[in-house]
A and B are shown apart, each in its own frame.
Chain A
Amino acid sequence: MIRALVSTFLEHVTDSSWMPSASVEVLRRRAAQLAAIRQFFATRDVVEVETPTLAAAGVTAPHIDGLREVSTGYWLQTSPEYAMKRLLAAGMGDCYQLARAFRAGEQGRYHNPEFTLLEWYRVGWSGTALMAEVQALVDEVLGQAPVHAMAYSEAFVAAGLPDPLIASDDELEQAACAAVGQLPDGLNCDGHLDLLLDAVVIPSLPSRCFLTHYPAAQAALAQLDEGDARVAHRFEFFCDGVELANGFVELTDAIVQRQRFVEDQIQRQAAGLKVVAIDERLLAALQAGLPACAGVALGVDRLLMLAEGAHSIAQVMAFDWGRA
């Protein structure tokens, strides 16, 4: 009888979705790479920390949607940034984390709703110094190669596009339309920039390239440039057309940070999205005093995908979303 039930049940598993999306050989190499990353930080006296995956506060960011645990209403963290800044404000010093992060609706060749982020902070460092350390880490995993750096607006102009710091939104909309065909309704200036970045700028970048000086409207949690308030101390790193890391010289001013969170909420409300409460514990930590620091988050699955020459991050994860 039980045998019959069991065999009936087994007939329902007709596909191969029980199997990993990565080969066991890849998973063994993944383990070795994670060990090498930990060694990289150990030799540099950067301390490994662990912060909650589930926490009371979510993020206000206009284009990042968190997932919520049903019974507590706590948020699965979209990055360990806020908790790590609270540690920094408490005197933790240089620290890193290999964290699981969660983002609703992000699924594709380079996206999985659950993924691994390597996030680290350097107290008193400049953006340039942190970019050099990102390069050193990437060299260690992918092998050495020349690295370029361009300002965000410089990269647009080099790709034959209007200068984002000068162009009108109409010009950007026309350029986006020429690049990707008919556009969806209701895109704002940053929507046009995001499309152009993906469709035109990124494919034209050198193999390994930093983009620096992001427009102030996309500063997120970065300080604005003291000399030119149109741009922020934010950089991203691209490798073979894949967005690999995002870094800031961190905003330490609690009042400015609150303003940005409120602006996020207004933007979400205007877009008909759910407005998320501000993380008051982060703001209290900034109020208490976040030391001057630079921080960066790097997509580990994407880095390992490039190291393996794989087509998608699913090929370097044990079980991707479709098999989770």
Chain B
Amino acid sequence: MASYSTNQFKSGLKIMLDGDPFSIVENEFVKPGKGQAFNRVKVRNLKTGKVIDRTFKSGETVEGADVMETEMQFLYSDGEFFHFMNQDTYEQHAAPAAAVGDSAKWLKEQDLCSVTLYNGQPLSVEPPPHVVLQVAQTDPGLKGDTSSGGNKPATLETGAVVQVPLFIQEGEMLRIDTRSGEYVSRARD
């Protein structure tokens, strides 16, 4: 794996620290006029999601992390593993539930997800920014009420619970923003 000098640091760069893969969140070059130059960085541990501060002497090098984000199709879950396929190579990857984490509640079979591979193994899974999911259960709403501001919870086919307008009925297809976890609109078809 390539190594990177601090002058190549930028947000998004994946590096190895203490044996774990990290992604640089913020990088700041600091130097008193006559003093030592430093790069003070915020880095996210790609395994735990935790963000920590680190300080490097400018000019130091660190090893790059063999981390790749690849678009893959979600095939199915067998309860223990979530199975994905790279649509270019047809290569399949099984991600343990721990790697999928909270994203699981947005995953619908055949949707395209962003899978982060670390040394070839799935490390984390990002759902598509928008998904279309069917309402599995919600209390009967007020038919014809498309204007009043009230909300109610609805359980979707994947198990996710979102707040929806009162007029939404069971069986409807909804467009959801997975980044905010919010209802966007009814899906046309």
A-binding residues in B (CB < 8 A): 7, 28-38, 40, 52-60
Contact = CB atoms under 8 A, between A and B. Distances in A.
Given A191-B57, A198-B32, 6 more contacts: A105-B59, A108-B30, A183-B55, A193-B35, A195-B38, A218-B34
A142 interface: no
A236 B29 contact: no
A108 B34 contact: no
A150 to B, nearest CB: 16
Given A109-B28, A111-B31, A197-B32, A184 B55 contact: yes
A233 B127 CA distance: 60
A194 interface: yes
Contacts, number: 69
A218 B35 contact: yes
A108 B28 contact: yes
Nearest to A188: B36
A227 interface: no
A183 B55 CA distance: 6
State which size class the interface on A falls in.
20 to 34
21 contacts: A63-B34, A63-B35, A64-B34, A105-B58, A105-B59, A106-B31, A111-B31, A180-B40, A181-B54, A182-B55, A186-B57, A187-B36, A193-B35, A194-B35, A194-B36, A195-B36, A195-B55, A197-B35, A198-B30, A218-B35, A246-B34
Given A181-B52, A184-B56, A195-B55, A243 B32 contact: yes
Given A105-B59, A180-B40, A182-B54, A220 B34 contact: yes
A253 interface: no
Contact of A61 (B31, B32, B34, B55): B34
Contacts of A182: 54-55
B25 to A, nearest CB: 14
A107 interface: yes
A109 to B, nearest CB: 7
A190 interface: yes
B55 A180 contact: yes
